């Protein structure tokens, strides 16, 4: 069955979902996006994702012609149209069609499309046994260039870091900031456990304030697990007892090897398992019904 895409207020078959070659999202990466998961008929943390979408729009002076509720309804409509119960939805908003120059004010109105589909970011074996990571030479962009909190369409920096990781035989790469501190992975936030305490880089070090990242803080509080933001170096990951990554698409996935060094005993640790199970339970029991 051909996927149905929500495009500027209409539901159209995937083969007919087209944007102009003059769209500034395509020409310059001038736009924003959100990725959202839905489980068993509920969209997980939908309002939080849409809130962040509006913050990204404000940061890049992209005037939204839709209200928060209109985008919520469009998202649910796109999911229903594809008759899915579980999956992933990608919302993309571009600056719209304009000229070949950079001037964004020549774009008359933004364009939005919403794709609802299934997704498998990592094979099940990696959730059970953990994945390998390496350090990427490509650095996380400095906040003075573009805030890491803006989920823009220009992900070339992350793409090139991902290429490095794959070329090195790993599924994920750790990206550092210009000071050499850990920012995040190519597409996920990073957490370590040391002495039973959970640590993650502060957003000031280049980490995205991920929705799943926030959920981990909530789950740690519920489980009585101490958690804190702290600047991390590669040494901190090398000598950690456990490590895991989080992201909307990735969910909660263990990392057991970093730069050819086993993390802890090289297996999935107990704290990671507790948080994995708690996250799965939460996603299957809460969310916006559609």
Q: Which residue in the block uniquely carries the two structure tokens 């990554």?
A: 245
The CATH code of the domain that includes 135 is: 3.20.10.10
pTM: 0.96
Q: Do residues 98 and 129 share a domain?
A: no
Q: Quick check: is 144 in a domain? A: yes
- The pLDDT of residue 1: 83
Q: Domain range holding 44?
A: 4-117
Picking from 146, 205, 145, the residue whose alpha carbon sits closest to that of residue 174 is 205
Q: Quick check: is 35 in a domain? A: yes
Q: What is the pLDDT of residues 211-260, one digit of tens each?
A: 999 999 999 999 999 999 999 999 999 999 999 999 999 999 999 999 99
Q: Do residues 87 and 133 share a domain?
A: no
Among the three residues 117, 132, 156, which one is the final residue of a domain in this structure? 117
- The pLDDT of residue 38: 98
Q: Quick check: is 154 in a domain? A: yes
Among the three residues 73, 94, 117, which one is the final residue of a domain in this structure? 117
Q: Quick check: is 168 in a domain? A: yes
Q: Decide if 90 contacts 115 (C-beta within 8 A).
A: yes
Q: Do residues 145 and 183 share a domain?
A: yes
Q: Quick check: is 288 in a domain? A: no
- The pLDDT of residue 90: 98
- The pLDDT of residue 143: 83
For the annotated catalytic residues, the residue numbers are: 151
Q: Quick check: is 290 in a domain? A: no
- The pLDDT of residue 144: 86
- The pLDDT of residue 142: 87
Determine the straight-line distance between the first and last CA of the chain, rounded to whole angstroms: 21
Per-residue CA distances from 158 to 3, 121, 163, 229 (Å):
27, 16, 9, 23
Q: Do residues 136 and 192 share a domain?
A: yes
Using N-to-C axis directions, what is the helix angle for 211-223 and 270-283, rounded to 10°? 110
b (16+ CB within 10 A) / e for 118-152: eeeeeeeebbeebbbbbbbebbbbeeeeebbebbb
The ranges of the chain with pLDDT < 50 are none
At residue 274, φ and ψ (nearest 5 deg) are: -60, -45
Q: Do residues 132 and 105 share a domain?
A: no
Q: Decide if 160 contacts 154 (C-beta within 8 A).
A: no
Q: Do residues 175 and 32 share a domain?
A: no
* Count of helix runs (H) and strand runs (E) in the chain: 8, 16
Q: Do residues 224 and 91 share a domain?
A: no
Q: Do residues 195 and 144 share a domain?
A: yes
Q: Do residues 245 and 178 share a domain?
A: yes
Number of structural domains found in the chain? 2
Q: Decide if 112 contacts 241 (C-beta within 8 A).
A: no
Q: Do residues 34 and 160 share a domain?
A: no
Q: Quick check: is 25 in a domain? A: yes
Q: Do residues 74 and 130 share a domain?
A: no
Q: How far apart are CA 228 and CA 166, in angstroms?
A: 30
Q: Do residues 108 and 183 share a domain?
A: no
Among the three residues 84, 117, 150, which one is the final residue of a domain in this structure? 117
């Amino acid at each position: 069955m051909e996927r149905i895409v929500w495009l500027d207020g209409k539901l159209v078959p995937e083969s007919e979902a087209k944007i102009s070659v003059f769209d500034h999202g395509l020409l310059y990466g001038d736009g924003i996006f959100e990725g959202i998961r839905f489980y068993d008929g509920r969209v997980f943390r939908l309002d939080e994702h849409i809130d962040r979408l509006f913050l990204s729009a404000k940061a890049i002076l992209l005037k939204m012609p839709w209200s928060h509720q209109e985008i919520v309804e469009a998202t649910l409509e796109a999911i229903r149209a594809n008759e899915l119960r579980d999956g992933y939805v990608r919302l993309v908003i571009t600056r719209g069609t304009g000229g070949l120059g950079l001037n964004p004010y020549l774009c008359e109105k933004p364009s939005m499309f919403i794709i609802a589909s299934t997704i498998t970011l990592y094979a099940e074996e990696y959730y059970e046994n953990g994945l390998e990571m390496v350090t990427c030479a490509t650095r996380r962009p400095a906040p003075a260039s573009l805030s890491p909190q803006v989920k823009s369409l220009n992900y070339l920096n992350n793409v090139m870091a991902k290429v490095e990781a794959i070329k090195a035989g790993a599924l994920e790469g750790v990206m550092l900031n210009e000071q050499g501190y850990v920012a995040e992975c190519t597409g996920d936030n990073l957490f370590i456990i040391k002495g039973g305490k959970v640590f993650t880089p502060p957003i000031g070090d280049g980490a995205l304030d991920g929705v799943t990242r926030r959920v981990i803080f909530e789950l740690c509080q519920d489980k009585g697990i101490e958690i804190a933001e702290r600047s991390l170096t590669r040494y901190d990951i090398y000598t950690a007892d456990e490590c895991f990554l989080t992201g909307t698409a990735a969910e909660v996935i263990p990392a057991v090897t970093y730069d050819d060094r086993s993390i802890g005993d090289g297996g999935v640790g107990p704290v990671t398992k507790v948080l994995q199970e708690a996250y799965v339970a939460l996603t299957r029991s809460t969310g916006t019904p559609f």
